[in-house]
Every structure is written in C-alpha cells, then in structure tokens.
C-alpha cells in the first residue's frame, strides 16, 4: 500500500519510531500503575471487596437459583463480579477461573455450557465498573489531556447499558433454547472425563467478613475528622469558585475527584486496621508486573497500527466508511478501536493510545475511544480462557449474548459522548 500511494518514507519512519514510542508509553504508565494499584490493594485489604461481595449475594441468589448458596461456585462468582466492579481486573481473573471449575462440577453435561456458565460469562464480559479505568486515565494524562477523567461518567453509563443488554439477551436466548428444544450434545464430554489443574483456579473463594477487630477509637476519630475536614474544605472551595465570574462546578469535579478517591482508599485501609504503607507497596509490585507484561503487546500493535496509518491504508478505509458511520454518530477514525476491543485488550489499548496521540486526547474521537476502552471486555479472550478452564466445547448462546452486550456498550458510549461532549 505504501508503494502504491508513494508513502514509503513515512512508513519506514513509522517502523522505526513506533517501537520506541510504545516503550516510552509504558515507562510513562509505570509510576501511575504502581501508585493506584497499591492504593486499590489497601482498600481491598481494608474490606472494601468483602463489603461489596456481601451486598451482591442476594442479587446473585436470584440470578443463579440452580447454584446452591453455600457452594464454592457462588462465592467465586460473587468475588469475581465484585472485583470487576471495583476495577480489580487482575484479582477478578483467579476468582472467575475458580467459578468456572466449580460450575463444571454442577454441570450435568460436561463439555456443554450450562445456563449458569453462560449467564456468568455474559455478566463478566460486560461487567459494570464503577472505578475510573486506570490505564486509560494514565494514557490520557501522558497524551496531555486537560481532563484525564472526563470519560469516566460516560464509561459508567456505557458499561451499565452493556451489562443490562448482555444479561437480558442471555435470559431471552435461554428461554428460546428451551422452547425450541435445541441441544448442543456434540460438544459433550464423557462423564468420566479426567480432572485437570487450571492455573489460578485454586483461589480462596471465602468471602471476607471484614476486619477481625473494629477500628480503635483513635482510628475512628481520625477517619471521621479527615472526612469532615474534606467536606468543609470542599464547601469553601465551591463558595470561592462560584464567586468568580468564570467559576464552574466542572472545575471542582475535575480537580477534586481523583484526590478524594485516593483519600477514600486510604481511609478504608485505616478503618480496616491495614498497614497502609506495606499494603500499598505490595499492590504496587503488581502494577510493575502488569506494565512489564504489556510491553510486547504494545510494541507489536503500535507498530502495526503506525505502519497501517503511515502507508495510507487507514485513510482509504476511513474515507470509505466515514459516510456510513457518521450517519449513526460514530466517526470512522474510532471504528478500529470498536472492532478490536472484543478481540484483544492489549491490542485495543495500543490502538487507543495511537488514536489519542494522532487525534488529541480531548478531541471528540479521543474521548470516544477512551470510553470504548472501558465500556466492554475482551469477549473472545474471556470466553477462550474461561471455557477452556471448564473444558467446555459447546458454548450454546453465550457468544451471541456477549456480543450483544459489546454492541450495546459501543452504541451507549457513542450516545453518551455526544450528550456529554457534543
């Protein structure tokens, strides 16, 4: 393509620059990932994950009536979903693998996805995330965004829509499957299929009850005092800002949101009698491991995207698709991100980074792809590893339900970005 368009020189330069840009990007992410994963670990040890898991238990009993309440599969699913809601993706995966292995023990047809397996994966691939997506925020900050967290609320809206659609589609297809009498017996395994070990499937599925001892009066007084001081300071800040001619509550939200989140994590750890510094350091090591793990993926995908763009192939694709996609409010420049997101988390992360650098992090396209990154999960990857853990060959309606959630997430992200950013 570069030869036909006469753009060999830009393509050659892109091939040299892209690997270095990918490594520079990861280096810029390392500090933030260490800090925020450390803070998340403080909140997790402080009991935040257990608190949320206990709140989810009544809902899960209704969604999965065929799974006994005291079965390890139920607690593993609850912990997985709770971890996803809090943005603890690395902690969620071992619980998810454990849940699939335990659900396999309840499955009357080994090798064929049970209704509970399908529903669990539909929720998992579209799980609502309340915390700001850490990696996206850090990439936006590195790209020079004036408001790295601007995409947070649209992301919560988009992922909520994707979860509702995936769950509803799964339940509807379950009824249709039963009404039509469809049966995927070709994927079944013999009843005496040998057992096997799954990496990460030995996770402790006990739902923590919280701190073994209540916080001391001094700790409780400190937590309440800091919270009251912050509320007082926030009130004074609002009063001061609204008194200025160009004052805006948006300025307060942008400047206060992240510091308040950090203080919240620390107060959770403090009230849970956590050794905050040690827990933050332990969680920070995980951030370093994550950063190192994504380097090869980012180098390859950023190089591929850079060459694709420099050769002129991306411009031709955008010119061809733009009239159709703009008619539904989706700029063609964001289409590669929408298509790659269900396939590869690292790949879509790299494409998002490249789009933010080329289009600008605060452009409409930049905000849209940032929202895409957090609106759905890497569907095909999740189905592969989770059904692989349970030795399922016939997924029945799982893929259709998960893809419906992906489409809903992309559509909701587009609508939300138009509402918030014009």
Over 80: is that where the pLDDT of 89 sits? no
Tokens of 281: 């350091």
Residues 6+ apart with CB under 8 A from 241: 247, 248, 249, 251, 252
pLDDT tens, 196-238? 455 455 555 566 566 667 778 888 899 999 999 999 998 888 8
Q: Give per-residue pLDDT as tens, 116-175.
A: 999 999 998 887 788 777 778 888 888 888 888 889 889 999 999 999 999 999 999 988
Cα–Cα dist 200/164, whole Å: 28
| 256/237 Cα distance (integer angstroms) | 10
Helix (H, G, I), strand (E, B) or coil at 338: helix
Give the pLDDT of residue 365: 92
Average pLDDT rounded to a whole number, residues 95-106: 86
Q: What is the mean pLDDT of residues 24-43?
A: 80
User: Which residues have a Cβ under 8 Å from the Cβ of 365 and sit 6 or more positions away?
Assistant: 331, 333, 334, 355, 359
Model confidence over 120-136: pLDDT tens digits? 999 988 877 887 777 78
Q: How many CB atoms lie within 10 A of CB 59?
A: 11
Contact 399, 383 (CB under 8 A): yes
Cβ atoms 410, 373 nearer than 8 A? no
Q: Give CA–CA dist 145/161, Å, rounded.
A: 26
Which tens digits make up the pLDDT trace of 320-330? 877 887 788 88
pLDDT for res 248: 61
Radius of gyration of the chain (CA): 23
Confidence label for 369 from pLDDT (cuts 50, 70 and 90): very high
Pairwise CA distance, residues 348 & 267, whole Å:
34
The band of 24, judged by pLDDT with boundaries at 50, 70 and 90, is confident
């Amino acid at each position: 393509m570069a030869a036909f368009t006469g753009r060999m020189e830009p393509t050659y330069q892109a091939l040299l620059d892209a690997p270095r840009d990918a490594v520079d990007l990861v280096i810029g992410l390392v500090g933030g990932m260490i800090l925020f994963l450390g803070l998340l670990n403080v909140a997790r040890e402080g009991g935040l994950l257990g608190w949320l898991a206990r709140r989810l238990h009544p809902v899960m009993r209704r969604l999965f009536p065929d799974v006994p309440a005291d079965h390890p599969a139920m607690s593993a699913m609850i912990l997985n979903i709770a971890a996803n809601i809090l943005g603890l993706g690395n902690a969620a995966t071992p619980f998810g693998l454990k849940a699939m292995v335990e659900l396999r023990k309840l499955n009357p047809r080994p090798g064929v996805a049970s209704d509970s397996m399908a529903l669990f994966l539909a929720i998992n691939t579209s799980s609502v995330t309340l915390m700001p997506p850490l990696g996206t925020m850090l990439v936006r900050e590195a790209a020079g965004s004036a408001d790295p967290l601007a995409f947070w609320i649209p992301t919560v809206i988009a992922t909520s829509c994707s979860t509702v659609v995936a769950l509803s589609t799964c339940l509807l297809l379950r009824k249709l499957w039963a009404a039509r009498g469809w049966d995927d017996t070709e994927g079944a395994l013999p009843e005496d299929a040998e057992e096997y070990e799954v990496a990460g499937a030995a996770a402790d599925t006990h739902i923590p009850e919280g701190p073994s001892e209540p916080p001391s009066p001094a700790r409780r007084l400190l937590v309440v005092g800091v919270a009251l001081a912050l509320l007082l300071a926030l009130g004074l800040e609002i009063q001061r800002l609204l008194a200025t001619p160009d004052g805006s509550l948006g300025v307060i939200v942008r400047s206060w949101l992240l510091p308040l989140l950090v203080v919240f994590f620390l107060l959770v750890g403090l009230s849970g009698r956590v050794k905050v510094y040690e827990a933050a350091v332990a969680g920070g090591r995980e951030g370093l491991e994550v950063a190192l793990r994504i380097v090869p993926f980012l180098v390859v995908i950023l190089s591929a995207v850079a060459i694709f763009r420099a050769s002129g192939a991306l411009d031709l694709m955008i010119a061809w698709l733009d009239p159709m996609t703009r008619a539904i409010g989706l700029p063609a420049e964001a289409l590669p991100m929408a298509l790659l997101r269900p396939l590869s988390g690292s790949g879509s992360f790299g494409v998002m980074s490249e789009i933010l650098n080329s289009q600008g992090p605060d452009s409409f396209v930049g905000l849209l792809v940032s929202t895409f990154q957090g609106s759905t999960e890497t569907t095909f990857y999740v189905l592969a590893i989770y059904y692989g853990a349970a030795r399922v060959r016939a997924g029945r309606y799982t893929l259709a339900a998960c893809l419906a959630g992906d489409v809903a997430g992309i559509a909701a992200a587009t609508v939300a970005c138009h509402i918030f950013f014009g």
